[in-house]
Amino acid sequence: MSATPLANTCTVAVIGAGAMGSGIAQIAALSGHPVKLLDTREGAAAKAIQGIRTQLNKLVEKNRLTPEAASAAAENLSVATALPELADATLLIEAIIEDLSAKQALFSSLEGIVANDAILATNTSSISITAIGAALKHPERLAGLHFFNPAPL
């Protein structure tokens, strides 16, 4: 069995706009995916997107990225303000607080919103994926997708 990459037309949702979430969003946007960034803190997702755009501009200044690639990645980023706005996402990556009950609640909510074939992923570094998935109706759709900090590096 061979794996196929996620098509660039597939939306990636990142829940949590802290250092990890914004870094993951940057990687997905640079890979050509439409990215929706959601955070429960008022204005956090918009601030993170501005920070990503600043980082993209710095990469252009250092000749590590073309202006066109930076512009395309920036255009791929958008703010989501509520979970239902993530319904069309193919890959949803959680980067919230390291709290089992919070992660279980988030994934239980997402399971009722997204398509049955959407991939749910956690970026946890310390909580059992099995424990997180135990709260799901279909735990087999949950994956661990861990990034080291800072994610873009």
Residues acting as catalytic residues? 146
- 135 near 107, Cβ under 8 Å? yes
For residues 13 and 118, give the distance between their C-alpha atoms in angstroms, rounded to a whole number.
11
DSSP output for 51-67: HHHHHHHHHHHTTSS-H
Q: How many residues does the chain have?
A: 153
Residue with tokens 């990225």, as numbered in its chain: 65
